[in-house]
Amino acid sequence: MPSPACLAGTRTSAECASRLLAGWRERQVQGSIYDEVGGDHYISQANDCVGERVSREERRVRPTIRCLEEDLALTLPNEDVDLGEIEHDLLSEARRIAPTSPKGQKRIQAIADPLVFRIRQSVWRGATWVDEGASIMWLLAAATREEGSQDDAYEYFEALHRQGRLLPTDDDRRRDRVEAGARLLSRIQEEAPAYLAEARDRPGQDATFVLAGILEIRLHVIRTPQLEEIWLAVSTRLVNGDGASLPLRDLVFVTFEQAAGQAEWELRADWPSGELRWFERARLGLRES
């Protein structure tokens, strides 16, 4: 959460943004274990509202962390990297078949529960499982086919299952939640400058946007020969009717302040074109023209 100095406007927008974003990321990872507590304020918004509840056609692909590190021999990247988008032949094939999986795949009969299916690409063999609730096709395991053998990879997958190491773990689900927060953050940072530019092209008018597909904001820009006023109102409600968390709203404010450049910001209880709605919180930034 921003410091009182940030909220009072005694720090620059860049300082506030840096502190907030760095603090959020710092709380995400504890070694190789993902801590839900620090990022949950943001992540819950992302999971519920930014395309995480997807259709079958939009089903996501993810390797388990164990599969990524042990089977594919890849290094686990930072949390702002979507594991499902990593470039690998087997993951590319998984993304291709995910919308219709398990149609066209053969089941690994030695694994009774859950239903695990085969995937193959060149010399690679893999095991997949569709988590319908999360709309994720998990790549559970991978191995290369040894010369002259057709079954060695599947024996390995069966052994992993017997050892309780095949299916996604709590760490896998935490990682997915952390990435959802990172995706939300990236989308806000991408959209803020564009919305601000549009509002600047319409001085003296309210410009209303739905930020990241989840949160309504209003911008109002006033220009004089000496100053530019940038009014920003952020809703306390998400577009789905749920409450927008305070840290999420703070993140929106500091992201827009950063996009605006050098400005002095203050909290406001009014609005230049009329009344501030009861479910909105507003800030005003003043910049020299």
Mean pLDDT of 275-286: 96
**What is the 8-class DSSP label of residue 81?**
S
Return the minimum-mean-pLDDT range out of 25-39, 48-62, 183-197, 205-219.
Answer: 25-39
Task: Tell me the sheet residues that pair with 139.
Answer: 63, 128
pLDDT at 14: 45
Closest CA to 133 of 53, 48, 40: 53
Which amino acid is present at 2?
P
pLDDT at 31: 32
pLDDT at 80: 83
Structure confidence by residue, pLDDT tens digits, 36-77: 233 444 455 555 444 443 344 478 999 999 999 999 999 999
pLDDT at residue 205 tops 90: yes
Mean pLDDT of the chain: 84
Return the minimum-mean-pLDDT range out of 41-45, 143-147, 178-182.
Answer: 41-45
Would you place residue 149 in the very low, low, confident or very high pLDDT band (cuts 50, 70, 90)?
low
Mean pLDDT of 277-281: 96
pLDDT at residue 160 tops 80: yes
Residue with tokens 């259709």: 55
- Start-to-end CA distance of the chain, whole Å, equals 31
Backbone angles phi, psi at 287, to 5 degrees: -130, 145
The residue that leads in pLDDT, 29 or 208, is 208
Strands annotated E in 19-103: 29-30, 33-34, 60-63
Give the other-Cβ count within 10 Å of 162's Cβ.
Answer: 11
Structure confidence by residue, pLDDT tens digits, 92-107: 999 999 999 999 999 9
pLDDT at residue 111 tops 90: yes
Domains of the chain by range and CATH? 4-20+179-288 (no CATH), 65-168 (3.30.2310)
Written as six digits, the tokens of 7 are 């909220």
User: pTM for this structure?
Assistant: 0.64
**What is the 8-class DSSP label of residue 225?**
S
Mean pLDDT of 187-193: 95
